[in-house]
């Protein structure tokens, strides 16, 4: 029997032509589905490579800032060491200033620096190697004087910030070392270093193309720069840099005079307190990423366009040679067979006599049969045989969905879910069924059921433990604490007879307090576990509780028990009924505004008990979930449902606004207890 005939291929093709797609379109869609994720993955690789390149540049700039900082520190340390050696010269210590001047002048000429000796007592320069032979030059710069004060305080060589030196009109920094004599800094040795010297050091560093190296003093003034030094030396930088700069180093962005956004990676010198910063235009950092993305986007777009064009041409050739299935031609038997066998679940076609006409590969594999072994057999061949022997094929109504057991070829039962659908063809009526193996689902359901049963058992044990603890506490309060309190009251009564009038008044007041305590203890013990449940029975216990609650709440309450089997049920059920009554009356007191009467009834209901609690309070809209949630505040109804579910019962709530509320608690009982 041909499957394509059974499924009305012409009608099928007519429907497909309305919504189908050509081979060319599907082939292009397939290629696009492969190319787009591949290009996206390649784009991610390109972006990560560009980001790695940027990170390498950043690491190089940070390392270069550290190297330049160390180079500048070595220059400053060398100057400090030279001044320290000169300050300890025997000529200075012995006051032979002319000899020392000749020595300093010789050193100054050899290394090309300026050395100045100033007398702190007179404030005049003793000599200046830039002006040899002159004496008592009353010349001093505020930056130099500040450095001298710092050196005197620290008693060691220090370096100043950058300043404009006169008369040469050039920016310099000075290193100042105190000359300690007689325990005080009587003289100061000062070495002037032109900022051009630092600029030469910065220019000698090999940095990234377009990078700039800068040196900034403690006052946020540029000392030297690797590019355009003369223009920037002595220029103050924005104060927010110092405000945001960390103690060791970091990163900072600024806009140059030309409007270029620069990113600076800086290091602070512990020796001088200066900053060494290496900066590059942001285009240097983001350029590789932008270039890579642009190149990749262009190449990817070109590749995608070429692939689509080539696929479009190939798809046209295939379409012209074979035709578009379902659009340009009817599907072949082989194509239908492939589609039929590709279903991930079992599919079986049954004729009007209940015999198998077709099966797909998934069903054959799951049941262990070959196609030839099933065709022509009754559908019952795949079902377990009844206990009364083999059965003949029968025609019976088919439900849209059935959960049954299938029979494997080896005799094993397989839980399956079958979905039936009737179809009519020119060759008769058939039924198509999808057969889904639900073994895993069944196992999961069994495990879930076992877990729920275990959870309910644990909850039941927990509830029993709570009640046992309540009983223990009630006995403890009543038998021990209550008796001790009674003994104390008797003892006080005996003492009262030996006291004067004032003492008797105080003792009577104390006895009244103890009586109130005793009443509170009795009430607490009674609420924990009324003794009347065990001594007088559940009905008497509920009646006593209702009467006490009515007196306390000021609401008229009546209790009716129409069942004589309350004391034949288990202690767990009796406790649950009592607790539900307690919680229901508590809810009335809390939520039933305007209630003046409450009725509690316990009676038989079919195969169990029914507890009814009805009030004439304000009620609520039971269909309004928000109102229901507010009414559930404090977990009252939830707690009652929890208790009842543990003994197989249920709770129904009926309520309406201004018409009161009624609770129905239904509890199943064993036939012997009904």
- Express each pLDDT in 123-169 by its tens digit: 777 888 877 765 544 456 788 888 888 888 888 889 988 888 776 78
Q: What pLDDT, on a 0 to 100 scale, did the predictor assign at position 13?
A: 39
3-state secondary structure of 564: coil
Which of 7-11, 410-414, 468-472, 506-510 has the largest mean confidence? Answer: 410-414
pLDDT tens track for 492-505: 777 777 777 777 77
pLDDT category at 479 given cuts 50, 70, 90 is low
Q: What pLDDT, on a 0 to 100 scale, did the predictor assign at position 652?
A: 92
Q: What pLDDT, on a 0 to 100 scale, did the predictor assign at position 2?
A: 42
Across the range 527-548, mean pLDDT stands at 76
Which range among 24-38, 408-422, 431-445, 521-535 shows the weakest confidence by mean pLDDT?
521-535
**Beta strands of 85-167 (E only): which ranges?**
114-119, 125-128, 158-159, 163-165
According to DSSP, the β-strands at 114-119 and 158-159 are: unpaired
Q: How far apart are CA 538 and CA 536, in angstroms?
A: 7
State the residue for tokens 């029997």.
Answer: 1
3-state secondary structure of 264: strand
3-state secondary structure of 657: coil
- Is the pLDDT reported for residue 328 higher than 70? no
- CATH placement of domain 343-433: 3.30.450.20
- Count other Cβ atoms within 10 Å, centred on residue 500: 7
Q: Which fold has domain 537-673?
A: Heat Shock Protein 90 (3.30.565)
pLDDT: is 388 or 96 the higher one? Answer: 96
3-state secondary structure of 198: helix
Nearest CA among 122, 174, 168, 182 for reference residue 150: 174
* Residue 396: half-sphere exposure toward Cβ, Cα within 13 Å: 7
Q: How far apart are CA 425 and CA 419, in angstroms?
A: 19
- Is the pLDDT reported for residue 23 higher than 90? no
Q: What pLDDT, on a 0 to 100 scale, did the predictor assign at position 6?
A: 43
Paired residues of 149 in beta bridges: none
Q: Are 188 and 148 in contact (CB under 8 A)?
A: yes
Q: Are 434 and 346 in contact (CB under 8 A)?
A: yes
pLDDT category at 75 given cuts 50, 70, 90 is confident
**Beta strands of 259-366 (E only): which ranges?**
261-268, 275-281, 346-351, 356-359
Q: Are 470 and 529 in contact (CB under 8 A)?
A: yes
- Is the pLDDT reported for residue 4 higher than 70? no
Nearest CA among 361, 61, 387 for reference residue 209: 61
According to DSSP, the β-strands at 356-359 and 346-351 are: antiparallel
Q: Are 172 and 233 in contact (CB under 8 A)?
A: no
- Is the pLDDT reported for residue 528 higher than 70? no
Q: How far apart are CA 425 and CA 352, in angstroms?
A: 11
pLDDT: is 326 or 121 the higher one? Answer: 121
**pTM: predicted TM-score of the whole model, two decimal places:** 0.41
Chain mean pLDDT for the chain: 78
CA dihedral over 403, 404, 405, 408, signed as positive or negative: negative
pLDDT category at 653 given cuts 50, 70, 90 is very high
Can you give 281-315 as a three-state secondary structure string?
EHHHHHHHHHHHHHHHHHHHHHHHHHHHHHHHHHH
pLDDT tens track for 293-303: 888 888 888 88
- Is the pLDDT reported for residue 663 higher than 90? yes
Q: How far apart are CA 233 and CA 199, in angstroms?
A: 9
- Is the pLDDT reported for residue 469 higher than 80? no
- Count other Cβ atoms within 10 Å, centred on residue 495: 13
Q: What pLDDT, on a 0 to 100 scale, did the predictor assign at position 531?
A: 55
Q: How far apart are CA 123 and CA 118, in angstroms?
A: 7
Nearest CA among 329, 347, 327 for reference residue 337: 347
- Is the pLDDT reported for residue 181 higher than 50? yes
Which range among 103-117, 276-290, 428-442, 523-537 shows the weakest confidence by mean pLDDT?
523-537
pLDDT: is 110 or 325 the higher one? Answer: 110
CA dihedral over 486, 492, 493, 495, signed as positive or negative: positive
Q: Are 343 and 366 in contact (CB under 8 A)?
A: no
Nearest CA among 628, 652, 630, 629 for reference residue 640: 652
Q: Are 174 and 157 in contact (CB under 8 A)?
A: no
* Helical (H) or strand (E) element with 663: strand 661-668
pLDDT tens track for 585-616: 989 988 888 899 999 999 888 788 999 999 99
For the chain, percent helix, then strand, then coil, each to nearest 5? 50, 25, 25
- CATH placement of domain 56-284: 3.30.450.20
Nearest CA among 101, 149, 99 for reference residue 125: 101
Paired residues of 420 in beta bridges: 433
- Count other Cβ atoms within 10 Å, centred on residue 431: 17
State the residue for tokens 């070429």.
Answer: 306
Which two structure tokens, joined as six digits, stand for 234? 């002595």
- Is the pLDDT reported for residue 519 higher than 80? no
Q: Are 160 and 195 in contact (CB under 8 A)?
A: no
Q: Which distant-in-sequence residues (6+ apart) come within 8 Å of 233 by Cβ?
A: 162, 171, 195, 199, 222, 223, 224, 225
23-87 vs 195-204: helix axis angle to the nearest 10?
140
pLDDT category at 645 given cuts 50, 70, 90 is confident
What backbone torsions phi and psi does residue 99 show, to the nearest 5 degrees? -65, -40
Nearest CA among 206, 212, 239, 216 for reference residue 226: 212
pLDDT category at 466 given cuts 50, 70, 90 is low
Dmax (CA) for the chain in angstroms is 137
Q: Which distant-in-sequence residues (6+ apart) come within 8 Å of 149 by Cβ?
A: none
- Is the pLDDT reported for residue 175 higher than 60? yes
Q: What pLDDT, on a 0 to 100 scale, did the predictor assign at position 93?
A: 78
According to DSSP, the β-strands at 261-268 and 222-225 are: unpaired
3-state secondary structure of 129: coil
pLDDT: is 484 or 231 the higher one? Answer: 231
Q: What pLDDT, on a 0 to 100 scale, did the predictor assign at position 477?
A: 62
Nearest CA among 502, 630, 650 for reference residue 576: 650
Q: What pLDDT, on a 0 to 100 scale, did the predictor assign at position 330?
A: 60
- Is the pLDDT reported for residue 394 higher than 60? no
Q: How far apart are CA 8 and CA 365, in angstroms?
A: 27
Q: How far apart are CA 315 and CA 527, in angstroms?
A: 85
Q: How far apart are CA 332 and CA 239, in angstroms?
A: 82
């Amino acid at each position: 029997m041909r499957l394509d005939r059974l499924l009305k291929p012409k009608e099928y093709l007519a429907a497909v032509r309305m919504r189908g797609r050509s081979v060319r379109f599907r082939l292009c869609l397939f290629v696009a589905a492969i190319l787009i994720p591949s290009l996206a993955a390649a784009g991610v690789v390109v972006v990560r490579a560009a980001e790695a390149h940027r990170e390498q540049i950043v690491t190089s700039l940070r390392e270069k800032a550290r190297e330049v900082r160390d180079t500048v520190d070595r220059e400053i340390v060398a100057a400090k060491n030279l001044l320290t050696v000169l300050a300890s010269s025997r000529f200075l210590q012995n006051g032979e200033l002319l000899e020392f001047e000749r020595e300093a002048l010789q050193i100054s000429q050899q290394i090309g620096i300026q050395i100045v000796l100033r007398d702190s007592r007179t404030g005049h320069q003793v000599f200046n190697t830039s002006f040899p032979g002159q004496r008592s030059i009353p010349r001093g710069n505020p930056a130099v004087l500040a450095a001298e004060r710092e050196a005197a305080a620290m008693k060691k060589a220090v370096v100043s910030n950058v300043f404009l030196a006169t008369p040469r009109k050039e920016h310099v920094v000075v290193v100042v070392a105190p000359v300690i004599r007689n325990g005080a800094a009587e003289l100061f040795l000062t070495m002037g270093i032109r900022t051009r010297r630092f600029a030469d050091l910065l220019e000698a560093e090999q940095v990234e193309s377009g990078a700039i190296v800068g040196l900034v003093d403690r006052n946020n003034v540029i000392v030297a720069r690797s590019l355009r030094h003369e223009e920037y030396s002595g220029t103050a930088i924005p104060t927010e840099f110092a405000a945001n700069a960390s103690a060791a180093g970091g990163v900072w962005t600024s806009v140059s005079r030309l409007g270029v956004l620069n990113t600076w990676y800086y290091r602070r010198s512990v020796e001088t307190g200066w900053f060494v910063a290496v900066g590059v235009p942001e285009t240097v950092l983001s350029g590789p990423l932008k270039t890579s993305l642009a190149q990749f986007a262009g190449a990817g777009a070109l590749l995608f366009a070429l692939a689509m064009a080539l696929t479009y041409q190939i798809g046209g050739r295939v379409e012209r040679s074979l035709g578009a299935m379902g659009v340009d031609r009817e599907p072949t038997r082989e194509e239908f067979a492939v589609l039929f066998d590709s279903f991930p679940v079992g599919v079986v076609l049954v004729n009007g006599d209940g015999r198998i006409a077709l099966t797909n590969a998934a069903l054959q594999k799951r049941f262990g049969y070959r196609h030839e072994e099933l065709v022509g057999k009754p559908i019952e061949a795949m079902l377990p045989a009844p206990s009364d022997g083999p059965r003949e094929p029968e025609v019976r109504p088919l439900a849209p969905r059935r959960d049954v057991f299938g029979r494997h070829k080896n005799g094993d039962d397989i839980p399956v879910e079958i979905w039936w659908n009737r179809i009519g063809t020119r060759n008769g009526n058939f039924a198509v069924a999808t057969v889904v193996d639900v073994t895993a689902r069944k196992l999961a359901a069994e495990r879930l059921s076992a877990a729920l049963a275990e959870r309910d058992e644990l909850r039941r044990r927990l509830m029993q433990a709570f009640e046992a603890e309540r009983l223990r506490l009630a006995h403890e309060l009543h038998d021990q604490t209550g008796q001790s309190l009674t003994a104390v009251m008797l003892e006080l009564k005996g003492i009262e007879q030996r006291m004067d009038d004032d003492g008797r008044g105080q003792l009577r007041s104390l006895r009244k307090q103890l009586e109130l305590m005793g009443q509170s203890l009795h009430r607490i013990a009674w609420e924990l576990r009324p003794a009347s449940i065990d001594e007088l029975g559940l009905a008497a216990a509920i009646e006593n509780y209702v009467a006490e609650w009515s007196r306390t709440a000021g609401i008229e309450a009546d209790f009716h028990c129409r069942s004589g089997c309350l004391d034949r049920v288990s202690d767990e059920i009796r406790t649950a009924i009592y607790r539900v009554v307690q919680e229901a009356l508590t809810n009335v007191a809390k939520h039933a505004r305007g209630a003046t009467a409450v009725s509690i009834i316990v009676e038989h209901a079919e195969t169990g008990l029914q507890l009814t609690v009805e009030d004439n309070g304000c009620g609520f809209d039971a269909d309004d979930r928000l109102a229901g949630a507010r009414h559930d505040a404090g977990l009252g109804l939830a707690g009652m449902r929890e208790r009842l579910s543990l003994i197989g019962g249920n709770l129904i709530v009926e309520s309406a606004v201004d018409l009161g509320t009624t609770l129905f608690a239904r509890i199943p009982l064993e036939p012997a207890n009904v």
